[in-house]
Amino acid sequence: MAPGEQGVSLPTAITLGNWQDPPFNRSAFWQTRELLPTHRVGRGDGPVRDLPVGTSGADPMAVAVRRADGTEATVGDVMADTYTDAYVVLQDGELVGEWYAPQGGPDRPHALMSVTKSVVGCVAGNLVEQELLETQRPVTDYVPELLGSGYAGASVRDVLDMRTGVRFREDYTDPDAEFVALDEWIGWRPADTEEAPRGLYRYLATLGADGSSGGNFRYRSTDSDVLGWVCERAGSERMANLMSALVWAPMGAETDADLLCDGVGTAVHDGGLAATARDLARFGQLLLDNGSVPRADGEPRGVVPSRWLRQAWGVDSDLRTAFAATPTELTFPGGWYRNQFWFRPGEYGDVLLCLGIFGQMVHVCRRTRTVCVKLSTWPKPQDPFFLYDTCAAFDAVGGALAGRERSQGWRGLPGIVAGLSRAGGDEPTRDHGQ
């Protein structure tokens, strides 16, 4: 069975009430522009970054992988069984694997959901480099509208690493959870109020606190929304323009992206981006290449500050403790979250991940020089077995393409320095995965 062919017929009656639900999402995620208001993230008029076709002839889909249930399969089996809409595999910047579901194609944008957060993080990194944004300053210095909310007292660094004390439950199935209310306020699902949609920024100002900032990691989409709001204030531009000028155009994107908005025109920073799989692979290659792209003369040109990415790849005892103390440690043992990126120790070295619900993923491994992209429409927002199998599959692809031996079970040790000084801070000293 080819990836994504689960035998579900495509629906025609897609609405705000069902566009994120199966089987409607299988079509809706390819046509967000027709469903919701968007801002255009322009690719500019510069050169497109070339993705030369690899000449090795190796088929990444034929690589063997062990699944979460202990059974053996091929990477192609995993892609087929996890509702894949598209995948792209790069090795050393060359295109070695690519596939699209019948609804999609290399020139069609697909909803990226929370992969958006990582792009917003790169915007923030550029603004820090330009000295327009300071990570240690309170977010309320940039957005005083949040002074009466749970974000009062949180720093820009706290929202970057999702260590605020804001009361927000990221529960996609509980109808009473704040995440469901967020979707209603931004107009992404029907709401029982004549005011709807009331807007993202108004919603953020209503959130209270249930802890102090700077504590343990807890995944909150609203932290990314506050970060985006702060970036717009610091950069004096709306997010779509910041993304275009600071990331999308200079990285050599081939196609304009879309940034979904709420009902009053505010960009949804936590999950609104829709882009092609190839451009997402270019973004992954940018991260792999330490934030640079090759110029015509062969010399690298910086797009995302290398210091910003080195800082993210590094981990100190404080960052690990903040992550290890939460249930998320069970999903990514030995992992951490920094600058809007996920990190996990993989079979062939540490892996940077950009993740979105319903199975969106960018998988970057510096040791194997691979970038793997998967766009999906899982039936549920989260599925731990699908997530495990996809990570294992992409680990295996990287190892096979690079001819690398596994890391012999190394997973990193909580509290042991892997990239920064033991005291923490923003100056990387060394990092893994080289």
Residues 347-388: tens digit of each pLDDT: 999 999 999 999 999 999 999 999 999 999 999 999 999 999
Residue 149's nearest CA partner among 137, 140, 136, 162 is 140
User: In this structure, how many other beta carbons lie within 10 angstroms of the beta carbon of residue 180?
Assistant: 17
Beta bridge partners of 337: 342
Contact present, 259 and 151 (Cβ < 8 Å): no
What the block records as the tokens of 63 is: 């690589």
DSSP 244: I
Burial of 409 (0-12, 13-18, 19+ CB in 10 A): exposed
pLDDT for the residue 197 = 64
pLDDT for the residue 297 = 79
pLDDT for the residue 106 = 96
Percentage with pLDDT > 70 across the chain: 89
In this prediction, the residues of the chain whose per-residue pLDDT falls under 70 are 1-12, 193-197, 406-434
Q: What share of the chain is helix, strand, coil (3-state, %, to 5)?
A: 30, 20, 50
Catalytic residues: 114
Q: What are phi and psi of 42, to 5 degrees?
A: -70, 145
| Coil, strand or helix at 408 | coil
User: In this structure, how many other beta carbons lie within 10 angstroms of the beta carbon of residue 194?
Assistant: 5
Burial of 260 (0-12, 13-18, 19+ CB in 10 A): buried
Among the residues of 360-413, which ranges form H helices? 384-402
Question: pTM, whole model, 2 decimals?
Answer: 0.91
**Greatest CA separation for the chain:** 60
Contact present, 343 and 315 (Cβ < 8 Å): yes
pLDDT for the residue 192 = 72
DSSP 158-198: HHHTT---B-----SS-TTSHHHHHHHHHTSS--SSTT---
Q: What are phi and psi of 237, to 5 degrees?
A: -150, 155
The span from the CA of 374 to the CA of 83, in Å, is 10
In the chain, the domains with their CATH numbers are 40-133+240-402 (3.40.710.10)
The span from the CA of 149 to the CA of 393, in Å, is 42
pLDDT for the residue 424 = 35
Q: What are phi and psi of 352, to 5 degrees?
A: -90, 135
Each residue of 273-309: pLDDT tens digit?
Answer: 999 999 999 999 999 999 999 988 778 999 999 999 9
